[in-house]
Amino acid sequence: MLLIFLLSTLGALGLVGLFARRWTLGERLAAAVPLGNLLIGLIGLALASRLGMTPVAMGLAVVLSSAPALVWLRMGPRRRLVRVVRVSLGRMRQHLRTRGRQRVVLGIWYSVFLAFLLRFFWGACYADADGAIWTLNVANLGDLPLHIGIVRGFTVGENFPPDHPALLGARLTYPFIVDFTAALYVRGGASVPGAFFFQDATLVACTLYALWRLTRLFTRDSLAAHLALPLAVFCGGWGFLYIGGDWHLAPSGSLQEFLLHLPKSYTNDADRSLRWGNMLCVLLGTQRSIVLGMPLALTVVRLWWDGKRSGMWLAGLMVGLLPLGHVHTFASMSGVAALQALGSLRRDGFKAALHRWLPFFTLLVLGAVPSLAYMLLGSATHTENFRRFALGWDGGATDVVGWARFWLFNTGPFIPLLVLAALRAPQRVVAFYLPFLLCFIGPNVLQLAPWIWDNLKVLIYWYLLSVPLVAGLLAGWLKTPGLRVWTPLIALCCMAAGAVDAWHVATGSDKQQIFSPQEQRFGEAILAVTPPHAKILTAPAYIHPVYWAGRRMWLGYPGWLSSHGLVYKYREDALLAIYTAATPVEAEALLNQYEIDYIAITPRERGDIPSHGDNKKHLPLNETLFRQRYPVVAQQGEYVLFKVR
């Protein structure tokens, strides 16, 4: 795994060095790590689709993705790299040698902050001593099994070209490149939890450094850069005010018991109109594709800020390769780029704007067309579900006052602070920032995904680019005698709810098992007796051993399918009819019609079928029928697989 990571990052580092010659080593690495993940994922996918996930395909992917490092064979690029490394190491030694209270405080703060983040991302997916796979983040309960199913489909399921794990026969158009790269790591020797943790930790580190650097460039204030990271990571609103009223929900009534077993989320609770979920809990800890998209997006923003034509080539390449990486990041950056180009046209004139932006849009189009064609042409995804008018996002507001109240409640003091910061910021910073308001306005008037809450994947880019302005304002207040007393309290109000939710996850209050050892053994048994593209009938559950087997369900979890714009209703009706059939004739007619090969009966089916979907009569699972007519080909205790055809 480390060899694959290092070689792909080395190749991306060579590519970044060609177009961003004045960047520091930290800036180059923050761009190269996610770009390396993206490049080896795309190259590896193309090769695996033809050769399978064989050592030959993996070796070729590593060689091709690391090929840009050959640029260092030339004297000029090699000298520039050596100079950058020397300067960066020199600055690092200088900072370490500098003594003072500020250095000690910063050292302690970053040590605690990074240790907390490592604990958080380790808890996103981990294996106990007995091999059971768990998550500490209840928000990850519905997403983690999907990503595990995708990775296992690549590593052991021969899922090429990729089918959706939960809808056999439907092309997988959900942005999955980050999972394919994880699959390369797994084939390289890592466990699934190990690959996920390594990716999350390295990519989020790149995101945080890129945000730190952007804040430093926008504000020219190191204190603002330090404030930007907790403002971003612990984003939230006024939900923490409910804590006092919820204290009594603790079993013993003690503060310690309450803090270790928080009963609610204070950033994402629909019953309290809290929908602006904390970024760490509901995005970085669950939405693996956006973990890849964020550092790439911030790198592109940095290249725009530099404004150099050479950097525009790299920015266009990054955005153009993003659709299979994270389509919402691609859409966000493309829309903002159009507005940035229009602003450049107004300020600099047609020739200057064309000279600067033509490289970006050229590579964007050339890179995006193949991915978008793969995702859209012949896809089962209904794209009309991604472009509906829906005013007010997910707040349920019917008027402007209600909409404003929703946002002020969900983001706390952040928006008023942002307005003040924009009034005080330099003109160049404000002009550069204004196009990012598209990422706020768009999701508030359009439904950009079948599940409207997923608009958050675009809204977050408005927030991330607003953080440097607010951090700059707070840093200025901390240096003002009359305001420095109140500024920490204001900052705390911006971060308290998010910090409480992140603490809730880190303490393991909602620890959830994803795959037990028995379910994994049953999955391995399924893998041993079924061909890769077998049609397996299961309960439409989000956790099932079939995912661990790397096989695709005939019909899986409807929540995933509806949020991905896929139609599944006819299969849901047939599934219930088969499992609850009163006679063999009824069951066999449907089994033959849909050419089902295997049927699973596990605790999932016994629990889900009587109460699922349109089964209003709560008809029970007719297990006796299957046991009488079909042979058992795999079994682990209560987990049974029958062969139908």
Please tell me the predicted confidence (pLDDT) of residue 392: 87
Q: How many angstroms separate the CA atoms of 196 and 120, rounded?
A: 12
- Is residue 386 pLDDT above 70, yes or no? no
Whole-prediction pTM:
0.95
Cα 213–207–136 angle (5° rounding)? 140
End-to-end CA, the chain: 39
Q: How much is the average pLDDT of 622-626?
A: 92
| Distances 344 to 329, 361, 423 between C-alpha atoms, Å | 22, 14, 21
Secondary structure of residue 436 in the 3-state scheme: helix
Nearest alpha carbon to residue 386 among 462, 343, 450, 337: 450
| Distances 542 to 294, 362, 449, 517, 603 between C-alpha atoms, Å | 26, 41, 20, 17, 13
- Is residue 422 pLDDT above 90, yes or no? yes
Q: How much is the average pLDDT of 16-41?
A: 95
Predicted confidence (pLDDT) per residue in 442-470, tens digit: 999 999 888 899 999 999 999 999 999 99
- Is residue 615 pLDDT above 80, yes or no? no
Kindly list the domain boundaries of the chain, sorted by start residue.
1-98, 516-643
Q: How much is the average pLDDT of 415-428?
A: 97
- Is residue 380 pLDDT above 90, yes or no? no
Cα 535–539–543 angle (5° rounding)? 100
Predicted confidence (pLDDT) per residue in 599-610, tens digit: 999 999 998 898
* Fold held by 516-643: Rossmann fold (3.40.50)
Say which amino acid occupies 361. F
Please tell me the predicted confidence (pLDDT) of residue 253: 67
Q: How much is the average pLDDT of 276-299?
A: 96
Ramachandran sector of residue 277 (left: φ over 0; alpha: ψ -120 to 50; beta: rest): beta
Identify which of 377-381, 578-582, 640-644 has the greatest average pLDDT: 640-644
Q: How many angstroms separate the CA atoms of 102 and 75, rounded?
A: 41
Q: Which tokens belong to 22?
A: 């004045």
> In angstroms, how far is CA 372 from the centroid of its own chain?
19
Beta partners for 218?
none
